[in-house]
Structures are given as structure tokens and as C-alpha cells.
């Protein structure tokens, strides 16, 4: 068989993995791969302006399609620039393959020019990584990387390829004839006995709640469908995590909204007072639980997840079922049908009455103004005016992110991309590029803060080059709003370094990249601005000047429990925030 170079193998294996786009940035240590890229037509290369953005773009691509996102970068600084992105993908379980160039094998360890031990650096923030020192195993490694990235709980895999390996030759027999070199076989099939146990709990419960996380979205559309069927057949309420928004339609009446630190009153009170908590693909993150010792004290807890290490990590649960969520939910639905179980509305009637009482507090209400734009109002209008386009939403990190989660509607999975686990400012713009590339004709909006957007603003250049009609909707409050909010609440209103001075003129900035800039500070103009944003064919930056003093409520202050929410600016923290609470992030 004909031998081909390592660089050719890289391209061939990617083609076999049905990769149609990669996000990257060239440099000395990947020139052979870029040379091969130049010679072919099957894979499109998106040249970003910073390697971190390449990873976030690949994340946006992956999360909006369910496919593996691919990144290509050079050694040293190129590779280290990907670290934040990889850590982000690790925390949010996003399937990625990141290929990095490395100095030639004989130079490794010599502090060679642009050498970085990227395999060492990224070991804790990748699902797995490889340094390829033999061209003969390169096909196995790349196919294994894809397998690992997308199977089980998804995550990023880095493949570090020294430059000499890219030029050495080996035989590539195609994916079918390539043995995956990793022993890795996540179990997908749930244990039926545990399903039976769960059904018993289901039948008994009088105050149940489904607590739904991003795992459902990762499992795929089938999981969402099965979940919808289950929730509908039980008549139970359902709350979603930040990552889970869209796994179940948020406009459905059985949805009580997002839970957690900035979740709704009804969601958190339901979690606190339930007698059965059904966790579907969520992980009891500290943003969800608040103070663990006071977390839902009276409930039996059931946890479904693909990842057994998520069980009993921070909260003890009574029943765990490991497996693919689509299959677990399907098995449950099947059991319910087989046993002809019908859930009596009467049994949970009082529970719904209670929930509706909590609902009637209308915890997301805010005082609108006709003088100054309230960020919540801007988002409500954005939601109303864009709903019919079924937009893809990405966000940066801060108050605007939480408001977007609270005020936008998510009725479909894979339409909401936000940095949940790592909370990475600068995520939203490159993620939106990745989404737009995967869905060229869709409306893609990055809901941004004026501080976050500056963290990857260089990507305006990528947007221009690839004519990506991404819409950037900046809620400009002139502050790192979320930081200011914590400083007000916890640090005596000493606003240390949270004011955003010397901001650019975002309209001119947009124009300088060939985009459209729109700006308003008048509540009366917000609708027109949004309509204009939608109508413009190309990329748009909207600079929406909002009330700089608005804070994000409801809020569970650090170290508090679900029943100790602050509902608005006039709500005071009961007593002092404990020292334990103060040290929490």
C-alpha cells in the first residue's frame, strides 16, 4: 500500500470522520498540515484571530449540531492559547478534537523555540490527550480521539503532533481498518432493576420535580423527546439548569423555569420542598444547590447520568441509574406503558396549587421605565421579536447572561450556547461564529456585556472575512455588572475596578470591520433597533445602553439555601452573610 505523510494522514482521517470545517490558526509547527489543507477541497478552514476563539467557535459548532468540533493550532503559544477553551469544553462536556503542532520529537524537552508541554498542561482540562511519537499510530490516535470526544460523557481531546511526525510516512488503510487504540467503552444501557425501583418512587410521590440538565441535550434529540413524553405523561413539574435550557420547552406550562442562584422562586422553592427529585443529566453544581447541607432536605433523590462519577459527588442521592439518558428515559416510558400506570392528577393537585402560589409572586418582574432601558425589557423585546426565527443564542458571562437565561424562550435543544461550568467571558462571540458556520441561514445572536465582548473582539475580523451575519446584542451597563452586584452585596458597595472606562464607540468599531453598528439609549427605540438588526443582511453590533444600576434577581446569596432567596433590590439578606458564604465564588 502507498505510504503517505503524517500531515496527509491528518487530513484523510478528518475527512473520514466527516469533518467539514475546522477552526484554526497556522504556525511553524503545523505548516505541513496547512500545506495539505491547501491541496484539498473537502474541509473548510476558518481562520480565527486568536486560538482561544478557535476553540469557542468549535464549541459553538459542536453544541449547535451535536457533532465534534475540530481545532488546529501551532505549538507553544498557539497551543497554550487554547487552554481556556479546552477547560471550558471540559466543564460543559463539549465534544472537541484539538490538533496541535509540536516541535520535532528529537527537540522535545530541550526548551526548543515555541515548545510547550501542552499534553502536560492540558491533562486536567481535557477528557484525554495524546502526544504522537510514531507516525504509524497516527491514524489510530486520531480516530480514537474522535471516538473518545463524542462517546460517553463528551469532552475535548487534544492530539499533539510533532512536526517530524507530520512529514514521516506511513500506511493509512482507512477508518474501517484502523483499530481504535484506547480501551474505552462507556456503558449506555440502564439497569432495569433500578428503573423498576424508580417507577415505584414515581408512583408514590406527591411532590415530585424533574431537575433537567445539559446531559439531556448532549444525549440528543431522542432524549429530549423521551423526556417530553415522560413529563407529559406524569404531569409533574420540571425545572432546568442553565445548561439544560431547551432540553424541555421553557414556555411549556409544566416548566417552572431555571433553578439555582438566579433561578426562579417557584423552581427553587419546588426543589426545596419536593418529596421526589428526579435529576436527569445534571450534576448538582454549587450554582444549583446553594448551601449543600440545606439542599432539598425532605426529598428522595434519583440521579440519571452517563457519568458515574457525577453520582454522590456533592449531594447524596437515594437511587442512581447510569446510562445514556435517551435509553434510560425510553426504558421508563416503556415500563409506564407496559404497566399501564396512569398518573392521577389528584395526587399532585395540592403540589401544583402550592407551586402556582409561588409562581404568582412573579419573581422575574421588574420596574420598567420609559426613560432608561431596563436590560430585562430589552431582552423581553428581543425574545418577542425574534421568536419566529427560532434563533440560536450565545452569551458572554455576567448579568446579561443570567437575564438572557431568565427572559428568553428556549423551546428546542441545541439553540442555547453559554459558558456554564467555567463561566468564560469572551465565549459568546466566537461561539456564535461557530454556530453561524454550522447554520448559515439562521439567526444567531450573541447576548453580550460591554466588558465580555472586548475579550474576543478581534473576532470581528473573522466575521468580516467569512461574511458571518452574527448579531451582537450588547447590554451596555458600563460596568462589569455581575462584579458590581457582588461588590454591592458583599463588599460594602466598594466598586473596586468594576467600572468600564474608555469603552470604544461600538458603532464605529462595527463599521471599521465592515459591519453595521446600531445604538440606542431610549426605551422607545428598542423595538426598531431589534427589527433593524434582524433586517440587516450582514453582521451587526447593537450597543444597547441600559440602566447601569440594575441588578439580577432573584438571587440566592452565597452560602444560603433555596428558601432564602432575595427577590428584589429591597430584599435584604437575612442576617449577615456567613464567613463560609463570603469565601464562596
Partner 1 sequence: MNKKNLKHILSIMVDNEPGVLARVVGLFSGRGYNIESLSVSEVDSHKFLSRITVVTSGTKIIVDQIKAQLAKLIPVHNLVDITELKSFIGKELILIKLDVKNKKTFDLKKKLERLSAKILEENDLEIIVQFTGSPNEVKKMESILQPYKIIEQTRSGLVSMATGTDYIKK
Ligand X SMILES: Cc1ncc(C[n+]2csc(CCOP(=O)(O)OP(=O)(O)O)c2C)c(N)n1
**Which of 237, 398, 420, 554 touches ligand X by CB under 6 A?**
398
Given the residues 17, 23, 36, 163, the one annotated as active site: 163
Q: Under 8 Å CB-to-CB from 39, ≥6 apart: which residues?
A: none
Q: Is 397 an interacting residue with respect to ligand X (CB under 6 A)?
A: yes
Q: How far is the CB of 267 from ligand X (least distance, A)?
A: 22
Looking at beta carbons only, is 34 or 147 nearer to partner 1?
147
Active site residue 113: yes
The interface with ligand X within residues 444-463 (CB under 6 A) comprises 449-452
- Contact partner at residue 182 from Mg ion, partner 1, ligand X, none, CB < 5 to 8 Å by partner kind: partner 1
Nearest CA to 211 among 294, 155, 272, 292?
Answer: 272
Q: ∠ CA(247), CA(252), CA(254), 5° rounding?
A: 95
x-or-dash string of contact with partner 1, 129-148, rule CB under 8 A: --x----------------x
Q: Is 342 an interacting residue with respect to partner 1 (CB under 8 A)?
A: no
CB 114 within 8 A of CB 76: yes
Q: Is 307 an interacting residue with respect to partner 1 (CB under 8 A)?
A: yes
Q: Which three cell numbers stand for residue 464?
A: 468580516
- Contact partner at residue 184 from Mg ion, partner 1, ligand X, none, CB < 5 to 8 Å by partner kind: partner 1
Q: Is 183 an interacting residue with respect to partner 1 (CB under 8 A)?
A: yes
**Measured distance CA(214)–CA(219) in Å, rounded:** 9
Q: What does DSSP say about strands 392-395 and 444-449: parallel, antiparallel, or unpaired?
A: parallel
Q: What does DSSP say about strands 208-212 and 276-280: parallel, antiparallel, or unpaired?
A: parallel
Helix (H, G, I), strand (E, B) or coil at 32: helix
Q: How far is the CB of 123 from partner 1 (least distance, A)?
A: 6
Looking at beta carbons only, is 86 or 433 nearer to partner 1?
86
**Which of 477, 498, 520, 564 touches Mg ion by CB under 5 A?**
477
**Which of 124, 370, 572, 579 touches partner 1 by CB under 8 A?**
124
Q: Which three cell numbers stand for residue 137?
A: 499510530
Q: Is 449 an interacting residue with respect to Mg ion (CB under 5 A)?
A: yes
Q: Is 559 an interacting residue with respect to Mg ion (CB under 5 A)?
A: no
CB 305 within 8 A of CB 278: no
**Which of 114, 167, 182, 461 touches partner 1 by CB under 8 A?**
182
Q: How far is the CB of 397 from ligand X (least distance, A)?
A: 4
Length of the chain: 585
- Contact partner at residue 307 from partner 1, Mg ion, ligand X, none, CB < 5 to 8 Å by partner kind: partner 1
Handedness of CA 54, 57, 58, 59 (dihedral sign): positive
Looking at beta carbons only, is 172 or 416 nearer to ligand X?
416
**Which of 130, 210, 410, 479 touches ligand X by CB under 6 A?**
479
**Measured distance CA(260)–CA(286) in Å, rounded:** 8
Active site residue 410: no
Q: Which three cell numbers stand for residue 411?
A: 423551546
Given the residues 51, 59, 396, 550, the one annotated as active site: 51
Please state, in angstroms and as integers, the Cα–Cα distance from residue 550 to each residue in 273, 478, 569, following that order. 30, 11, 9
From 16-24, 260-268, 390-398, 461-469, give the range in contact with ligand X by CB under 6 A: 390-398
Q: Is 308 an interacting residue with respect to partner 1 (CB under 8 A)?
A: yes
Q: How far is the CB of 448 from ligand X (least distance, A)?
A: 7
Q: How far is the CB of 353 from partner 1 (least distance, A)?
A: 35
Q: Is 78 an interacting residue with respect to ligand X (CB under 6 A)?
A: no
**Measured distance CA(121)–CA(115) in Å, rounded:** 12
Looking at beta carbons only, is 182 or 191 nearer to partner 1?
182
H, E, C per residue of 237-256: CEEECCCCCCCCCCCCCCEE
CB 398 within 8 A of CB 423: no
Q: How far is the CB of 57 from ligand X (least distance, A)?
A: 17
Active site residue 114: yes
Strand partners, 516: 540
Q: Under 8 Å CB-to-CB from 216, ≥6 apart: which residues?
A: 223, 224, 227, 244, 247, 248, 280, 281, 325, 413
The interface with ligand X within residues 208-267 (CB under 6 A) comprises none
Q: Is 428 an interacting residue with respect to Mg ion (CB under 5 A)?
A: no
The interface with partner 1 within residues 447-466 (CB under 8 A) comprises none
Looking at beta carbons only, is 121 or 222 nearer to partner 1?
121
Nearest CA to 291 among 24, 544, 583?
Answer: 583
What does the radius of gyration of the chain's CA atoms come to, in whole angstroms? 24
Q: Is 432 an interacting residue with respect to ligand X (CB under 6 A)?
A: no
Q: How far is the CB of 536 from ligand X (least distance, A)?
A: 23
Given the residues 18, 40, 42, 113, the one annotated as active site: 113
Helix (H, G, I), strand (E, B) or coil at 394: strand
- State the CB neighbour count (10 A cutoff) for residue 11: 21
Q: Is 396 an interacting residue with respect to ligand X (CB under 6 A)?
A: yes
Active site residue 163: yes
Q: Is 477 an interacting residue with respect to ligand X (CB under 6 A)?
A: yes
Nearest CA to 266 among 294, 298, 248, 239?
Answer: 239
The helix or strand, by DSSP H or E, that contains position 259, with its residue range, turns out to be none
Looking at beta carbons only, is 148 or 552 nearer to partner 1?
148
Q: Is 312 an interacting residue with respect to partner 1 (CB under 8 A)?
A: yes
Q: Under 8 Å CB-to-CB from 297, ≥6 apart: which residues?
A: 272
**Measured distance CA(323)–CA(306) in Å, rounded:** 5
Count of residues near partner 1 by CB under 8 A? 18
**Measured distance CA(254)–CA(240) in Å, rounded:** 11
Q: How far is the CB of 292 from partner 1 (least distance, A)?
A: 12
**Measured distance CA(472)–CA(470) in Å, rounded:** 6
Looking at beta carbons only, is 58 or 145 nearer to partner 1?
145
Given the residues 16, 114, 335, 532, the one annotated as active site: 114
Positions in the binding site for ligand X (CB under 6 A): 396-400, 423-426, 449-452, 475, 477, 479-483
Catalytic residues: 51, 113-114, 163, 482
Positions in the binding site for partner 1 (CB under 8 A): 119-120, 123-124, 127-128, 131, 148, 182-184, 307-309, 311-313, 316
Amino acid at each position: 500500500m502507498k505510504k503517505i505523510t503524517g500531515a496527509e494522514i491528518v487530513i484523510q482521517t478528518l475527512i473520514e470522520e466527516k469533518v467539514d470545517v475546522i477552526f484554526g490558526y497556522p504556525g511553524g509547527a503545523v505548516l505541513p498540515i496547512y500545506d495539505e489543507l491547501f491541496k484539498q477541497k473537502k474541509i473548510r478552514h476558518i481562520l480565527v484571530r486568536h486560538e482561544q476563539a478557535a476553540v469557542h467557535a468549535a464549541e459553538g459548532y459542536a453544541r449547535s449540531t451535536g457533532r465534534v468540533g475540530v481545532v488546529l493550532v501551532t505549538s507553544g503559544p498557539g497551543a497554550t492559547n487554547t487552554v481556556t477553551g479546552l477547560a471550558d469544553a471540559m466543564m460543559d462536556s463539549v465534544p472537541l478534537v484539538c490538533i496541535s503542532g509540536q516541535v520535532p520529537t528529537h527537540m522535545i524537552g530541550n526548551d526548543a523555540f515555541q515548545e510547550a508541554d501542552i499534553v502536560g498542561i492540558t491533562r486536567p482540562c481535557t477528557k484525554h490527550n495524546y502526544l504522537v511519537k510514531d507516525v504509524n499510530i497516527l491514524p489510530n490516535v486520531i480516530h480514537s480521539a474522535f471516538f473518545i470526544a463524542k462517546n460517553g460523557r463528551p469532552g475535548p481531546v487534544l492530539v499533539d503532533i510533532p512536526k517530524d511526525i507530520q512529514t514521516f510516512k506511513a500506511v493509512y488503510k482507512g477508518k474501517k481498518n484502523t483499530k481504535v487504540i484506547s480501551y474505552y467503552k462507556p456503558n449506555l444501557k440502564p439497569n432495569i432493576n433500578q428503573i423498576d425501583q424508580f417507577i415505584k418512587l414515581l408512583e408514590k410521590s406527591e411532590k415530585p420535580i424533574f431537575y433537567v440538565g445539559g446531559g439531556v441535550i448532549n444525549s440528543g434529540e431522542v432524549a429530549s423527546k423521551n423526556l417530553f413524553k415522560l413529563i407529559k405523561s406524569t404531569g409533574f413539574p420540571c425545572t432546568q439548569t442553565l445548561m439544560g435550557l431547551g432540553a424541555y420547552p421553557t414556555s411549556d406550562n409544566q416548566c417552572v423555569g431555571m433553578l439555582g442562584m438566579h433561578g426562579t422562586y417557584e423552581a427553587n422553592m419546588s426543589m426545596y420542598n419536593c418529596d421526589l427529585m428526579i435529576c436527569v443529566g445534571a450534576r448538582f453544581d454549587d450554582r444549583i444547590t446553594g448551601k449543600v447541607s440545606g439542599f432539598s432536605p425532605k426529598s428522595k433523590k434519583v440521579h440519571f447520568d452517563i457519568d458515574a462519577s457525577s453520582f454522590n459527588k456533592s449531594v447524596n442521592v437515594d437511587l442512581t441509574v447510569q446510562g445514556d439518558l435517551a435509553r434510560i428515559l425510553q426504558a421508563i416510558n416503556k415500563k409506564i406503558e407496559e404497566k399501564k400506570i396512569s398518573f392521577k392528577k389528584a395526587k399532585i393537585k395540592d403540589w401544583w396549587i402550592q407551586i402556582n402560589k409561588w409562581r404568582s409572586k412573579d419573581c422575574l418582574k421588574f420596574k420598567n421605565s420609559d426613560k432608561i432601558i431596563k436590560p430585562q425589557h430589552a431582552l423581553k423585546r428581543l425574545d418577542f421579536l425574534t421568536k419566529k426565527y427560532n434563533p440560536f443564542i450565545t452569551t458572554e458571562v455576567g448579568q446579561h447572561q443570567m437575564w438572557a437565561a431568565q427572559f428568553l424562550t428556549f423551546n428546542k435543544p441545541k439553540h442555547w450556547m453559554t459558558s456554564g461550568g467555567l463561566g468564560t467571558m469572551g465565549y459568546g462571540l466566537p461561539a456564535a461564529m461557530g454556530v453561524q458556520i454550522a447554520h448559515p441561514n439562521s439567526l444567531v445572536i450573541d447576548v453580550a456585556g460591554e466588558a465580555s465582548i472586548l475579550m474576543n473582539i478581534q473576532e470581528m475580523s473573522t466575521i468580516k472575512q467569512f461574511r458571518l451575519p452574527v448579531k451582537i446584542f450588547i447590554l451596555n451597563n458600563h460596568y462589569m455588572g455581575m462584579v458590581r452586584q457582588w461588590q454591592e452585596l458583599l463588599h460594602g458597595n466598594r466598586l473596586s475596578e468594576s467600572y468600564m472606562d474608555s469603552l470604544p464607540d461600538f458603532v464605529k468599531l462595527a463599521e471599521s470591520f465592515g459591519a453595521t453598528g446600531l445604538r440606542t439609549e431610549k426605551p422607545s427605540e428598542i423595538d426598531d433597533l431589534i427589527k433593524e438588526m434582524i433586517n440587516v443582511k450582514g453582521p451587526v453590533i447593537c450597543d444597547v445602553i441600559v440602566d447601569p444600576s440594575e441588578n439580577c434577581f432573584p438571587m440566592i446569596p452565597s452560602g444560603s439555601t433555596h428558601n432564602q432567596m432575595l427577590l428584589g433590590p429591597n430584599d435584604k439578606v437575612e442576617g449577615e452573610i456567613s464567613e463560609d458564604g463570603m469565601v464562596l465564588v
